[in-house]
Each structure stands twice: as C-alpha cells, then as structure tokens.
Amino acid sequence: MEKKTAVLFVCLGNICRSPVAEGVFSRLVSEKGLSHLFEIDSAATSANHIGESPDPRTLRNSTRNNLHLTHKARQLQVSDFHRFDYILAMDKNNLRDILKVAPPEYSAQVALFASFDPDPRFEEVPDPYFGSEPDFQRVYELCEQAANHFLQTIQNP
C-alpha cells in the first residue's frame, strides 16, 4: 500500500482559515478519487479556541459554498512535526509561530500555503477575524486556488 501524504493546515485560531483549507483540500482530493492517499487535518498556533467549531461566519460562508465543516479546533503539537509531511501556514505570523515551537529535528516541510501558487501577489491567506462577510469569501476562494496548486505541485514534483 502506498504511504499516505499527511497535510496539516495551520492558522492562529483554527476557527476561520485552516478549517476551510482543510475542508477545501479534502473535498478536492475526494473529487479526484485520491482520499485514500491523504491524511488531512488542521490546527492552531494559539490555545484560544481549542475544542470549538469553526467561527459562525466561517460556517455560514462555507455552507454557501457547499462545504460542510465538522472540525473542532486543536493546537499544534510537537508530535505534528513528525506525523505530517507538510505543515502549511496561512500567513507569515503563523509560519513564524510554527517554527518557534518546532523541535530541533523534524521531517515535515513547513511552508506558506500560498507559496505553492505561482501568483506573486498571493503570499498569504489574510486573517478575516476582524473583517466582514466578503473577507470570509476571499479566504474560501484563496484556499481553493492554493489547494489546487498545492495538489498539482505534490503530484508533479
């Protein structure tokens, strides 16, 4: 049996962006009949929302896009750096916070999610927490775009 590729999406709270990235990427690999080849999860750098469902605005916007999220927030752990092949940060602050808690040696590739997208204007998935409805839709669209490019990249390295 082929080894699964394990992918962890990470943001600050694990209630707005990374659950959407997880959901969009899971749906993408499912549509392509590749679910058996992936382990997909998401996590927070902070402990602020552990155990919570996604933000109501994230849930509302995801439902509008036919994406149904059941994730409960959890915090990034040291063991994730060994368990996951990819740890993908939504923004540069997340990336810095991830690297702060990384063990001295680990196997995961830690990167910005948007770094797999060739569009140089798209470097980060911006935090929508203090924003409004369009910011949540923007998160959804950026996650879809980055998920497609990420899958293409890892399928054709």
- Contacts with ligand 4NP, residue ranges (CB under 6 A): 11-17, 48, 127, 129
- How far apart are CB 93 and ligand 4NP at their closest, in Å? 9
Tell me how far apart the alpha carbons of residues 89 and 113 are, in angstroms, rounded to a whole number: 6
CB-nearer residue toward ligand 4NP: 7 or 15: 15
Name which of 10, 88, 19 is nearest 46 in CA terms: 10
Active-site position among 16, 17, 97, 117: 17
- How far apart are CB 17 and ligand 4NP at their closest, in Å? 3
Distances (CA, A) of 122 to 8, 40, 146: 20, 23, 9
Q: Does residue 127 have an active-site annotation? A: yes
CB-nearer residue toward ligand 4NP: 142 or 151: 142
- Comparing every residue's Cβ against ligand 4NP, the nearest one is 13
- How far apart are CB 11 and ligand 4NP at their closest, in Å? 3
Q: Does residue 60 have an active-site annotation? A: no
For residue 53, report the phi and psi dihedrals to the nearest 5 degrees.
-70, 165
Alpha helices in the chain (DSSP H): 18-31, 56-64, 80-83, 92-100, 133-155
- How far apart are CB 149 and ligand 4NP at their closest, in Å? 20
Name which of 136, 93, 84 is nearest 112 in CA terms: 93
Task: Supply the residues annotated as catalytic.
Answer: 11, 17, 127
